[in-house]
Structure 1
Amino acid sequence: MAGTLVPTAALSDALVILGAAGIVIPAFARLRITPIIGFILVGLAVGPYGLGAMVPQVPWLYHITISDPHAIEPFAEFGIILLLFEIGLELSFNRLWQMRRLVFGLGAMELAVSAALLAGALLATGESTAGALGLGLALALSSTALVLPISGTQGPVGRAALSMLLFEDIALVPIIFLLGALGPASAEGGPSLLSTLLEGGAVVVALLVAGKLLLPRLFAQAAQTKSPELFLAASLLVVIVAALATGGVGLSPIMGALLAGLLIAETEYHTEVEAITKPFKGLALGVFLITIGMGIDLRLVWQNAGSLAIAVTGVVLLKAIVTGLSLRLMGKERSTALQTGILMASPSETTLIVLATAAQARLIDADTAQFWQIVTAIGLTITPLLAKLGEMSGRRLGKAEGRAADADIEPPEGDRAVILGFGRVGRLVGDMLKVHGTPFVAIDSDPAMVRAGREAGMPVLFGNIESSSAFERLDLDHARALILTMDEPVLASRIVRRLRAERPDVPIIVRARDAEHAAELYRAGASHAVPETLESSLQLSEAVLVDLGVPMGPVIASIHEKRDEFRKQIMEEGELDSLPRLKSSRLRERQT
């Protein structure tokens, strides 16, 4: 009977992890310190170089330390897998295709230039050519596990970081094979890169086909049971099968997790899947951060403090400069380039994988690998601090750019429409309001958009629409209508909820990506949610009917009728009431 129980060591490790998540992290949050640092410090304290080293002298410490750091590594890897899965859920194949220039242009440029410069610097210190190349490639990688939870995948910084990190995750497999081929250990044989890529391509195609055919049926069956446990099991099953499939043929398991997320994002169940798996991702990522902290030997750090400080500073500065310049070459604003460059400056968790590969291939010796592993651990630890520094620097530079764009602006007084987001869609809305003599004020966080609007004579302010100061500048008490035009579904829903809470009587008209997103926006409080897919279809229908000779009046009437019919269908499927209709009619009454 005793043999069937969970081992005491596993229970002790679980106690430490859950204690960190349930006690330590809320304390850090109350002090307004990011939980990332909290988890790393917990790992430093309870690991083999912290309190764990005192267990022989103080046996009771065994129960509050990690007895076997390697035993929790699979949970840490699972956290990274779930992170890539969630990224896939926020993307779609269409959005990924739209990002191809950033992923394979910006991402390739940043990785290649950073690796080349780092390798050159290491060559100058006496490192061998192959060893310098391996270390350069390893240190050029940035942390997906830490950067994306900080930056998100929306907004200028989030999109830029996501594109570079996606390319790095894709490039990880070729990097590992390249280092294996360069080392003396390559003579021992093993699978070739070509065979791995061919087998991996076949697995990816099989997953795509199977996902398109099976996932809608799988989640439909799970949804019909109305069992959250079964829905969660189905979600984790898809992630694990995809990760095992790509990992089994030599590709990275995180590639399979990303692919699984992309496939589920194409189904109507992606919102529920994202919500139900998020707690597991957070806890598993916490375990990963604890393992990072456990890898820092403070005695070794103290003994090599000078050389470690130089190495960490050099890597961070070089990567920040290269990333910032790469973004500027791709046309990004100075504030975005500065913030993203500093955010992406530290090494990655995958740096540890590449370092282990280089050591195994005998490109670098064990002492060199250990030195750069500590540099990587320190870099990961300071990533939240770099993110804060980048945010402050980018905001200060952005404000300077915004003030230059806002130099002569005088927002119209009295009641006016408010446009949040002045990109392609916001600019068109502003043009139409201007044509019909309707006063408005717009706001955007991209200084280039602000300047372009100002040059066209539009009252456009610079600011982050999520900040309280931006809301104060817009003076929402005088808003006749609120128009959200950004192509960021998660952000749009969040802003709609906030706007509806502040102004329950004002019409809110929002750009939606599709019918499902429109239903979500209606639930958040939107008066009108306009799906892009619907409008393109209606415009196409209008052009066809007019070209076929149907009079314009009946065409416009039928288009309006079809739009109202589609909107009613969205509201009925989302089980929404008639509140948005009342708000929109109130707007028409004010206009007349």
Structure 2
Amino acid sequence: MDSSHFLQTAVVFLLATVIAVPLTKRFRLGSVLGYLLAGVVIGPQLLGLVSDTEGVAAISEFGVVLMLFVIGLELSPQRLWVMRRSVFGTGLLQVLSCSLAIGAAAYYLFGLSGSAAAIIGGSLALSSTAFGLQILGERKEAGSAYGRQAFAILLFQDLAAIPLIAAVPLLASSSSAQGIDLLAMLRTIVVIALVMVGGRYLLRQVFRFVARADSVEVSTATALLVVMGTALLMELAHVSTTLGAFLAGVLLADSEYRHELESHIEPFKGLLLGLFFISVGMSMDLSLLLHQPLLVLELVIALMLLKGVLLWPLGRWLGELERTDALRLAVLLACGGEFAFVVLKLATGQQLLSARQNGLLVLAITLSMALTPLLVALVAKLLGGKSKKPTRAYDIIDTHAPRVIIAGYGRMGQIVARVLRAQGIPFVALDHSVEQLDLVQRFGNVTDIFYGDPARPELLRAAQADKAEVFVLASDDPESSLRVARVVRRQYPHLKIIARARNRQHVWRLMDLGIDEPVRETLYSSLKLTRKALEALGLAPEQAADQVERFRRQDAELIKLQYAVYDDEAKLVQTTREALADLEKLFEADAEPSAARIRQRDVDVPLAGSD
């Protein structure tokens, strides 16, 4: 390929991506669909701007390799253990039931071979992780009951895709006249064992050696070398390259280099994966949609209906979801997924499927993905409102009378609890997040932390709030903290409330409830950061501390001054400008020789929040 042709092709790809992806994301159809549509438009069947589809496909397949490496990196054993029931229970049954049902339909209704039916069943059982997580994120339902079940099922599907990809060459050899190639199976097992053992003992040593160079470019090159080297080794042994990349990721999942590797690989993965989906769109056979629209439509309806019918009882009974949430789960995961493109393309290359069969299935999967956001929105409108948060009975609080009650056991609440525990001060911590409690309980046998909504009066009574002295309001949700503060102030006026505030508006609303001096969550760390920045610029530590302390005092005065007018935006702006002008005058005065005595006097008061 000459340089001008290469540049022309690159410009076409980038232009199509820049136009198509933002449009589909604007209509909440997802970036994957945007890449597919871009490929269709610039492909040989419409505009014909790119004709070398085979060359593009060969390059883009490396995006799938990188994607599987990243999936392997994210495969945390702790995460799987916490979600083991949903992942290996609901997820496993979903993949098995859908694979068997779809495979049986392909075998008996369409007369495909056993190997082809198995590949079709396994690939169509997988849903779109990209679409599912994106929809949950946009609707803010990732933490809902059905959102957690959907995430667990998608996680198992990602795991199931690996052996499915690896099984395609084996199924191709078993469908040949010679039957199953035992030598090929043995070779696969030996190569996997070599990668696992060699990677376990060599990869960390390699990354430890490279880390000493302290070079971002070398670290990126090493990450790509690991992925490409493992894939090449697998290819030379006639084993799936994607399986090798996944195994390399798994071997490094619990290493100290995991996050650094992921940050180096992510840009390459995103670009090449987008290129892969564009190549899939370019290879789509639109003539099938024009000449056999009813067949394509029947495949789409059959796929989504069959998966939805099987998903609903799994979510309802095994996932213990309500009827409405089970329906939401079924609609969200009824479509096909991006891994199906990979599996079907590989199966077509191994001659398990014909080009026409592959074209029909790719069209059906693409249309099902396009319909999913619309169906999710329609079901949400019909059911009304959002999915309920996961329900769980509040914990029974059986403990001695505490001196302190902590509401919210996140980052700030945990620090308070650790200090109190070290001082031997009895406390009770309450948190309304199931995930947070599960996370904390993984790291030790804690007996003073309980699940429940601190805004419920009966829970506060069970926590013996009437006998406590201090109530630490450490929740990171402003509305939730205000609701808790109202209940505590009304029912237990003797409690001294120490409240965390998100911002100035939150401070003022807490002050409305009679809470003195709420603690802004980023104020003191920001002051300390500023002090260190001033010291790095050459100021003496005493002078830096003095200037930061002056700012803190004036900001505290400004908070109290603006509290009286915080509902008047014009006065807020005016007081902020006046405070800034006063601060500038103070710092100008500091530059005069006569200010030295004043600074010395002020330094005697230590900077709040300093070590």
TM-score interval w.r.t. the shorter chain? 0.5 to 0.7
AA paired with 1:258?
F
Distance 1:582 1:206 in 2: 53
Distance 1:419 1:49 in 2: 58
Deviation at 1:233, TM superposition (A): 1.7
Classify 1:146/1:190 alpha carbon distance in 2 versus 1 (closer, same or farther; 3 Å): farther
Matching of residue 302 in structure 1 with residue 302 in structure 2: no
Alignment partner, residue 120 of structure 1: 104
Alignment partner, residue 376 of structure 1: 365
AA paired with 1:239?
V
Of the structure 1 ranges 280-289 and 87-96, higher mean CA displacement relative to structure 2 is found in 87-96
Matching of residue 142 in structure 1 with residue 122 in structure 2: no
Classify 1:166/1:23 alpha carbon distance in 2 versus 1 (closer, same or farther; 3 Å): closer
- Give the 5 Å matches for 1:393-432: 396=385, 398-399=387-388, 418-419=407-408
SS of residue paired to 2:432: strand
Alignment partner, residue 184 of structure 2: 192
Identify the match of residue 249 of structure 1 among 237, 240, 250: 237
Kept in 2: contact 1:73–1:288 (CA 8 A): yes
Taking only the aligned residue pairs, the percentage that are identical comes to: 29
Deviation at 1:324, TM superposition (A): 4.4
Classify 1:268/1:178 alpha carbon distance in 2 versus 1 (closer, same or farther; 3 Å): closer
Q: Deviations over 1:405-427 (max 9, x none)?
A: 99xxxxxxxx99542689xx99x
Identify the match of residue 87 of structure 1 among 71, 74, 77: 71
- Give the 5 Å matches for 1:168-179: 168-173=160-165, 175-177=167-169, 179=171
Alignment partner, residue 472 of structure 1: 479
Alignment partner, residue 56 of structure 2: 72
Query: What is the TM-score of this pair, normalised by structure 1?
Result: 0.62
Matching of residue 271 in structure 1 with residue 259 in structure 2: yes
AA paired with 1:139?
L
Deviation at 1:276, TM superposition (A): 3.5
Alignment partner, residue 273 of structure 2: 285
Matching of residue 166 in structure 1 with residue 154 in structure 2: no
Identify the match of residue 442 of structure 1 among 432, 450, 458: 432
Kept in 2: contact 1:21–1:283 (CA 8 A): no
Q: Please provide the CA RMSD for this pair.
A: 5.0
Q: Deviations over 1:127-173 (max 9, x none)?
A: 24624444323322334565566668x85256414432233223214
Q: Deviations over 1:364-386 (max 9, x none)?
A: 55533432233234335545556
Kept in 2: contact 1:88–1:261 (CA 8 A): yes
Identify the match of residue 331 of structure 2 among 310, 319, 342: 342
SS of residue paired to 1:115: helix
Kept in 1: contact 2:284–2:363 (CA 8 A): yes
Distance 1:583 1:107 in 2: 48
SS of residue paired to 2:519: coil
Identify the match of residue 12 of structure 1 among 4, 8, 29: 8
Structure with greater helix share of residues: 1
Kept in 1: contact 2:348–2:355 (CA 8 A): yes
Classify 1:174/1:359 alpha carbon distance in 2 versus 1 (closer, same or farther; 3 Å): same
Kept in 1: contact 2:187–2:237 (CA 8 A): no
Distance 2:302 2:272 in 1: 31
AA paired with 2:309?
I
Q: Deviations over 1:463-496 (max 9, x none)?
A: xxxxxx97535438958456xxxxxxxxxxxxx9
Identify the match of residue 319 of structure 1 among 280, 302, 307: 307
Deviation at 1:397, TM superposition (A): 5.8
AA paired with 2:240?
S
Kept in 1: contact 2:125–2:307 (CA 8 A): yes
Deviation at 1:354, TM superposition (A): 4.1
- Give the 5 Å matches for 1:214-233: 214-218=206-210, 220-222=211-213, 224=214, 227-233=215-221
Classify 1:253/1:331 alpha carbon distance in 2 versus 1 (closer, same or farther; 3 Å): same
SS of residue paired to 1:66: coil
Alignment partner, residue 586 of structure 2: none
Of the structure 1 ranges 109-118 and 348-357, higher mean CA displacement relative to structure 2 is found in 348-357
Distance 1:416 1:331 in 2: 34
Distance 2:505 2:149 in 1: 28
Matching of residue 203 in structure 1 with residue 195 in structure 2: yes
Kept in 2: contact 1:43–1:293 (CA 8 A): yes
Deviation at 1:240, TM superposition (A): 1.8
Kept in 1: contact 2:166–2:243 (CA 8 A): no
Kept in 2: contact 1:134–1:355 (CA 8 A): yes
Kept in 2: contact 1:292–1:377 (CA 8 A): no
Kept in 2: contact 1:12–1:66 (CA 8 A): no
Distance 1:247 1:395 in 2: 51
Distance 2:278 2:349 in 1: 25
Matching of residue 260 in structure 1 with residue 255 in structure 2: no
Distance 2:505 2:336 in 1: 41
Distance 1:330 1:456 in 2: 33
Q: Deviations over 1:257-309 (max 9, x none)?
A: 33333444434443333333322222222212212322333332122111111
Distance 2:288 2:275 in 1: 23
Deviation at 1:14, TM superposition (A): 0.9
AA paired with 2:519?
V
Alignment size in residue pairs: 458
AA paired with 1:18?
L
Q: Deviations over 1:50-88 (max 9, x none)?
A: 111xxxxxxxxxxxx222112122342222222233333
Distance 2:284 2:259 in 1: 38
Deviation at 1:115, TM superposition (A): 1.3
Determine which structure has more spread, i.e. the larger CA radius of gyration: 2
SS of residue paired to 2:408: strand
Classify 1:128/1:273 alpha carbon distance in 2 versus 1 (closer, same or farther; 3 Å): closer
- Give the 5 Å matches for 1:465-544: 471-475=478-482, 480-481=498-499, 506=519
Kept in 2: contact 1:312–1:375 (CA 8 A): yes
Identify the match of residue 183 of structure 1 among 155, 164, 175: 175
Q: Deviations over 1:332-370 (max 9, x none)?
A: 544765555433332334434544565567665553343
Query: What is the TM-score of this pair, normalised by structure 2?
Result: 0.61
Distance 2:374 2:66 in 1: 24
Kept in 2: contact 1:88–1:258 (CA 8 A): yes
AA paired with 1:506?
V
